[in-house]
Structure 1
Amino acid sequence: MFKRKTKVSIVILSFVVYFCHQILVPDSKISFSEGRSLLAGSAWDPGELNKEQEGQCRALFKISGVYHPKNNHRSGAKSSENVPSWYTGSEFVEMAKRRVRTFLEDISRRPGGPSTQDYRSLGSDLPRLLYYRREKAESSLRGTLASSLTKSDEELVPVSRMKRPLDTQKDTEKVFFMDRFQTTDGDLPFVPCRVRRYTRTDINACFRKRLEKKKQFTMFFLGDSKIRNMVVEFLNTTSYLDYTVFRKNESWPWTVYRAMLEDEDIRFSDFEVTAASHPGLRVIFKFRRFWEWRDIDSSDEVKILKKWAEGTQPVPDLLVVGYTSWMFYTITHRLQYDPNFQLDVLDILMRVHEVVVPLLQRVADRTRVLVHADTRLRPHSQSKKPHHRLAMNAVFQDFMEDWSEMMFRFFEKFGRTRLTKRRRLVARRMPLEGGLEHMFHVVEEITSGGRPSAGFDDAPPPQRTQVDAVRDHLLPDSNGLWWWDTSLPLNMAAITECSDLHNRNLTHLPQYSDPVLRCEDHHHSGTATLHFEVHMLLNLLCNSHLAVSPRFCCS
């Protein structure tokens, strides 16, 4: 037991020493505004703050710049009447810009990348989503709430910041949701360009133009329930495209299959979607947990990535990947009676990233790859099930997510050429007397000669060249895979709003358990965040093909 604990300590200590060395050695300290960032070439490389159009599409997904209201101002047009006046005021804009610049400067000097607290800080700048419609004559505090919205004869006040409780039925009837587009106009302090809200007409035009150039257009989503929820929101947002869902050898209209997702067997299964209105459009979802820690190389998800990386199977036009949660949730149970239980979840996370990240890099050399940051825990979720809430709080700790993303960043930066010995658990059987057997596990090292080559090439394959006059941001570039963390502050803002409602004893409101915020769910994003993510994807897919204004991302 002592030897195993010592071995784990050495593994973790080596990474701690490495990151401390990068921070403390004077030669490693590089100014943010000059020279090359410590994170150059990684998912967290902040790059240049003032990149032109080429960098604005990647900045839609990876926090790497500050919003420029002057460059994106709509001449002759006003912001939506629902956008708080303080959100567009010069004082707040300058404060938000300073906060984002501080965020970028900090992570440029911090090899470990941003933490949950960093994202929470950015999310605190966003307007709330749940409001109370109050008549002006109803309050003597008119003008004292800096975050209130004003109309002709009423004020809209964030429920989580109200001074008095909402007790009567009449009060609760005045509570309602607004979405992120209503309260921000698509302008986020940590995204240098505006996110466009897509209409039905524009979405139809977008897919029609894409299918004119290519007979088949495939979007592939690979991951757990968080990625599935994004697919569901995408299909709900574009449900008028007359989708048909195929699962195994059966098919259903999307409206029917959507209701079937309540069944657990169906919820955890794969499906493919086609659109009758746009033949050739395919949306594929494969539910994969990324939890085969004993021999991750033999897992189905790694086999899928390996085929794309090696070119033995055509790549999709867009790949969205997300994983981590199931490793947190199930590994402790699966290891409970295992002799290697003390190896701990952190070591297993590192092993999985060591295999998966280099493969994603190779796939990103052939198509656009978005890796979705894992959403964070709601500390007051499952309040009606205290035992379940305690279990979730123990598993989905912020520091676990931060460790996972730090390991992702490490292997994203060094995975291609890093020469190291990987390990895997292998089952062995020992014959006993009386024809019995004793099964046990040993750690087997995969040496350089026996290690799978996928993901460890010294150099990536050449990039595809673009011959079309229209820039297509789905074509791969030298940036490799794109880390998607710009929606994480949105998720953190929703978590903070749920916590405020809980602290003010407002959990009785029906909106508290509504899917918009999903306050009673331990770590899945609400539809408010998912809906904004869907439009971020539509901006990536469509903006350059519809010749939208340069103020929008990916134009």
Structure 2
Amino acid sequence: MIAQYFPRASIITTITIKNSAAATTAAVSATTTDNRCKAMFTIYKNHENRSLTDTWYEKLSHGLPSLVRAGESTSEDRFTHWDTRLQLMSGQVPYIPCKVTQYDGVAVGQCLAAKAKAGKPTWLAFYGDSTMRLKMDVLLNFLPPDLIYSYYLNNKKVRRKLFKDIVAYELEYRPQIFEVYGQQSLDLLQSPMTNSDNDSNCINRDNYVKKGQMKIYRGSRWYSAKDNCSSVMNMRRTYRLRLTMVWATRGSKSGAPLDEGEKISKLEEWGKAEVVPDVVLVGFGKWSLMSREKIGMELEPFTALHSLSRPLLEPLTRLAQITPVILASQGRYRWHNYRSTNSPVLDNERELHRIIYQSQVTDSIPYLDAWLWTLLKSTGIWRWDSTLPFNLASLKECDLMRDAGFSNHPFYTNRWWNCEDPHHSSYETNTNEIQMLFNMLCNPYLSTDNRHCCSSSSSSHSTNSSIS
């Protein structure tokens, strides 16, 4: 999985994890078994560390191992890498009071089989903007190899490559619904549908536009989510794994900040359905910050975020009563990307203007997170901020590599660190997050060791299989 992001990985040196006082406080204060699953996502906070800045999260990031190190030389060998931070810590994060299990495609397959034996297929749902889209892209690397997969955009079956391209890249047009279904071969024999990636593509070639060498699917312009070229009804009855991504950039609507936008009603539908996702991950907010640049009013993004999020209160309350709903923190900006490499910033008026604007946006993100959480916390959803220190640690590594002259190196430009993307978290951070989601979904069915997050030795779902 890691190889596709890294062209070369050096051998890592021994890393000493520094346990800060903040990390110790966080870990000790949430140790009951009942809270262990939630504590994997939500960091315990007392009155002293409930701040509207990232200072406390930055302190927690100091207790995480670094994936890079600087030396006296700018040689490539001065930078080292070895998989994810979770792997370097063996799943034991200083401020999380339980152990995070490491999953790969095979282990996920064992989980799905155990859940299927208990009569429970697995369904993960993402709801939000491109931060959710990239999490789904990373999740595709965890798909068990023993299942046969079908890919859909707005209920239209497509080939895997097209699906991957549209999920992975920042394109102008977006389908509203992305879905993946994984089935066993025995399930396929009971279904009248065909599920090969080589089947005819239901999206007509006339609905592509070309951007350089890449074809772009004009999904949201040509099709609504009600289109049904290849029905997925039978698939929904026989799947072992289902992944859904709902494109809702502004919470209750999709579209650019100042557009009227299209109302999104998926949360309402799920709240009234007989079968609901095992977990719904919600993440949006940054798009509203773009309205500040166009309108010029300091509070406009927060006003827009408030008005577009209020319609979610009722459906989230209903949904959170029947399945876990988790609100993800927004990744912080990599504003260093706007620094000039050829001249001092103060000598370039355009870049100075961009730095000032970007700094305003950067400072606003913690407030945006707090604003959205204050509005939605009464619904019963969980807050996910435990990987925010991972995100901040990644940003520091990008700064380190840039200052060392590595801004053109594959380590810097590759999506694993994602240093050239000012908006989104690195794929390394996203990978750790997907691991946590599988801990929530799988540990009750695979692990009998109550040291693991979300597992319970007394759970009736636990099997004889165990993981470490």
- TM (norm. structure 1) is 0.59
The structural deviation recorded for 1:531 is 0.9
Alignment of 1:296-335 (within 5 A): 300-301=263-264, 303-309=265-271, 311=272, 314-329=275-290, 331-332=291-292, 335=295
The partner residue of 2:301 within 334, 345, 357 is: 345
Write the distance in 2 (CA, Å) between the matches of 1:220 and 1:389. Answer: 40
8 Å CA contact retained: 2:153, 2:163: no
2:20 corresponds to: none
CA 1:263/1:521 → structure 2, altered by over 3 Å: closer, same or farther? closer
Give yes or no for contact 2:339–2:355 (8 Å, CA) kept in 1.
Answer: no
- Mapping 1:275-314, distance limit 5 Å: 275-277=182-184, 279-280=238-239, 281-290=241-250, 300-301=263-264, 303-309=265-271, 311=272, 314=275
Local SS of the residue matching 1:188: coil
Q: Of the candidates 355, 366, 382, which is equivalent to residue 402 of structure 1?
A: 366
Residue 94 of structure 2 aligns with an amino acid whose one-letter code is: P
Taking the aligned partners of 1:217 and 1:127, their CA distance within structure 2 comes to 32
Question: Is contact 1:307-1:313 (8 Å) kept?
Answer: no
Per-residue deviation, 1:498: 0.9
Determine which of 229, 234, 237 is the counterpart of 2:142: 237
Distance 1:509 1:225, change over 3 A: same
Contact 1:219 1:318 in 2 (8 A): yes
Q: Which amino acid aligns with 1:327?
A: S
Q: Deviations over 1:484-517 (max 9, x none)?
A: 1111110010001111222333323321111111
Alpha-carbon distance in 1 for matches of 2:356, 2:182: 41
* 1:273 counterpart residue number: 180
**Conserved 8 A contact 2:31-2:97:** no
Alignment match, 1:366: 322
Given that 2:246 and 2:266 are in contact with CA atoms closer than 8 Å, whether structure 1 keeps it comes out as no
2:38 to 44, 47, 58: 58
Candidates 24, 49, 55, aligned match of 1:117: 55
Q: Supply the distance in 2 between the matched residues of 1:552 and 1:392 (Cα, whole angstroms).
A: 43
For residue 554 of structure 1, give the secondary structure of its aligned residue in structure 2: coil
Equivalent positions of 1:386-401 (< 5 A) are 391=354, 394-395=357-358, 397-401=361-365
Match of 2:464 in 1: none
For 1:186, the equivalent position in structure 2 comes to: 91
Instruction: Select the residue among 349, 355, 375 that pairs with 2:331.
Output: 375
8 Å contact kept, 2:82–2:88: no
Offset at residue 50 of structure 1 (A) = 4.5
User: Distance in 2 between the 1:266 and 1:313 partners?
Assistant: 32
The CA distance in 2 between the partners of 1:125 and 1:384, in whole Å, is: 31
Q: Tell me which amino acid in the other structure corresponds to 1:323.
A: F
Residue by residue over 1:315-348, the C-alpha shift from the partner in whole angstroms, topping out at 9 and shown as x without a partner, is: 322111101011112x235547xxxx57622322
Alignment of 1:194-273 (within 5 A): 194-214=99-119, 216-238=121-143, 240=145, 241-248=147-154, 250-261=156-167, 262=169, 264=171, 269-273=176-180
Q: CA deviation at 1:379?
A: 2.1
Structure 1 residues 236, 213: closer, same or farther in 2, change over 3 A?
same
Q: Which amino acid aligns with 1:206?
A: C
**Conservation of the 8 A alpha-carbon contact between 2:281 and 2:326:** yes
Deviation at 1:294, TM superposition (A): 8.3
Contact 1:274–1:283 (8 Å) recurs in 2: yes
1:146-192 Cα shifts (integer Å, max 9, x gaps): xxxxxxxxxxxx1xx312322xxxx4597545321332111111111
Counterparts of 1:333 and 1:397, CA distance in 2: 10
Q: How many Å apart are 1:350 and its aligned residue?
A: 3.1
Q: Aligned Cα RMSD in Å?
A: 3.3
Deviation at 1:357, TM superposition (A): 4.4
Contact 2:100 2:439 in 1 (8 A): yes
Give 3-state SS (helix, strand or coil) of 1:196's partner: coil
Distance 1:388 1:554, change over 3 A: farther
Any idea what SS the aligned residue of 1:284 has?
strand
CA contact (8 A) 1:219 1:283 kept: yes
SS at match of 2:152: strand
1:406 Cα offset (Å) = 2.2
The alpha carbon displacement at 1:115 in A equals 2.8
Contact 1:196 1:539 survives alignment (8 Å): yes
Q: 1:252 to 1:173 in 2, by over 3 A?
A: farther
Residue 165 (str. 1) matches residue 74 (str. 2): yes
C-alpha spacing 1:497/1:272, structure 2 compared with 1 (3 Å): same
- Are 1:194 and 1:551, in contact at CA under 8 Å, matched by a contact in 2? yes
Separation (CA, whole Å) in 1 of partners of 2:352 and 2:113:
46
Structure 1: gaps of 5 or more residues? 1-45, 65-102, 131-157, 417-479
How many residues are matched? Answer: 363
- The match for 2:458 is none
Contact preservation (8 Å) 1:372, 1:484? yes
> Does the residue aligned with 1:545 lie in a helix, a strand or coil?
helix
What displacement does 1:233 show? 0.6
Q: Secondary structure at the match of 2:445?
A: coil
Q: In the superposition, relative to structure 1, how do residues 175 and 409 fare at CA in structure 2: closer, same or farther (>3 Å)?
A: closer
Q: 1:249 & 1:266 partners in 2: Cα distance?
A: 16
Cα displacement (A) at 1:381: 2.0
Give a deviation string over 1:421-444, Cα, whole Å, max 9, x none.
xxxxxxxxxxxxxxxxxxxxxxxx
Question: Which protein shows a greater Rg?
Answer: 1
CA distance, structure 2, for counterparts of residue 519 and residue 389 of structure 1 = 20
Equivalent-residue separation in structure 1 for 2:135 and 2:71 (angstroms): 32
Match of 1:531 among 424, 431, 449: 431
Letter paired with 2:268: K
Instruction: State the Cα distance separating 1:239 from its structure 2 match.
Output: 5.7
Partner Cα separation in structure 2 for residue 541 and residue 289 of structure 1: 26
- C-alpha change, 1:487 and 1:266, in structure 2 (3 Å) is same
